[in-house]
Amino acid sequence: MTKFIGLIGYPIKHSVSPYFQQAALDSYHLDIRYEAWETSPEKLEAVVTGLREPRNLGANVTVPYKEAVLPLLDEVDDLAGLIGAVNTIVKRDNRLLGFNTDAHGFLEGLRQEGHFDPEGKRVVVLGAGGAARAVCFALVREKVSSLIIINRTPVRAETLAETLRSYIGDSSPSLYSGLRPAGSEGLSTEVITLPGQNLSSGETFTHCHLIVNCTSVGMKHSPQESKSPFDIEVIPPGVLVYDLVYNPYPTRLLELAGKAGANILGGLAMLVYQGAASFELWTGKKAPVDIMLDKARKVLIGGKR
């Protein structure tokens, strides 16, 4: 019987995941179809429940449902629980398990394509939505020395910073080590928030090694397409600018960063590496990352489907 994996989101007609996931499944000659399941809010519960049908193996979850699916699952792994968002559902023994592979995808993109080791580095993160939460937890766990979070809505940045600080605080030596959150031992990142107007000040970025755009500014098919979250004047040469937005490539931000003498990294590698981790969870097989990257690039940049 043909098995199915779905992408649950709304809208998802521009997604490239079905193309590179199908290429990966086909490379193993698996009788599995990866399909885009565009799901309106009132259908979400029924679609997630439908994953229990024998023909379904699991799903990816994207905007706007990464948080909304949590109560519909039987179990959520530690990292997804910390981040508060699930982007991968795996069915095991008819139980729906939730994972977050965005954090892993972000770090793999940073290391493999950005050739950047985050430990001990100073980082500025723009945004405080689901992607920013995954990115900030990943960076704190990789022991960056400082993290500045800037968001259009300051209260969201402060809430995220507080969550990170309490996670880091829980890692300080304690007699009750059995109560610490898993994996948080020995963390010491300084977490700071700044108001959005600091984006126009060069001082905000002067000493940083990495800037990550986790906002949707610059995204294709959005009102902010062709916009950058900040101007060329504030970008220090030599910094790495990582834009999670993967379409278009390069984004306006990356164009400006390149002109300023910064190193640049688009969001495509993160997209593929998070998808590769999901593929391994569903199939138990090593993801053919080169095939996935190649297909994603052809679809996005070359327009080949």
Positions in the binding site for ligand NAP (CB under 6 A): 63, 102, 105, 127-132, 151-153, 156, 214-217, 219, 224, 244-246, 267, 270-271, 274
Comparing every residue's Cβ against ligand NAP, the nearest one is: 129
Would you call 20 helix, strand, or coil by DSSP? helix
Cβ contacts of 69 within 8 Å, gap of 6 or more = 8, 44, 48, 61, 86, 89, 98
- Please confirm, yes or no, whether 227 is among the known catalytic residues: no
Closer to ligand NAP by Cβ: residue 171 or 300: 300
* Strands 3-9 and 56-61, bridge-based pairing: parallel
Closer to ligand NAP by Cβ: residue 155 or 182: 155
Q: State the Cα–Cα distance between residues 268 and 254, nearest whole angstrom.
A: 13
Of 66, 91, 121, 295, catalytic:
66
How far from the centroid of its chain's Cα atoms is residue 34's Cα? Answer: 20
Min dist. Cβ of residue 268 to ligand NAP (A)? 7
Min dist. Cβ of residue 229 to ligand NAP (A)? 6
Q: At what angle do helices 154-169 and 130-141 cross, to 10 degrees?
A: 30
Residues in the chain: 305
Min dist. Cβ of residue 173 to ligand NAP (A)? 33
Closer to ligand NAP by Cβ: residue 5 or 107: 107
Min dist. Cβ of residue 106 to ligand NAP (A)? 7
* Strands 210-213 and 190-194, bridge-based pairing: unpaired
Cβ contacts of 47 within 8 Å, gap of 6 or more = 6, 8, 37, 39
Closer to ligand NAP by Cβ: residue 107 or 214: 214
How far from the centroid of its chain's Cα atoms is residue 81's Cα? Answer: 15
Closer to ligand NAP by Cβ: residue 127 or 248: 127
DSSP designation for 221:
T
Instruction: Give every strand in the sheet of 32-38, ordered side by side.
Output: 32-38, 3-9, 56-61, 88-92, 95-99, 75-76
Min dist. Cβ of residue 188 to ligand NAP (A)? 25
Give the residue numbers annotated as catalytic, written as ranges.
66
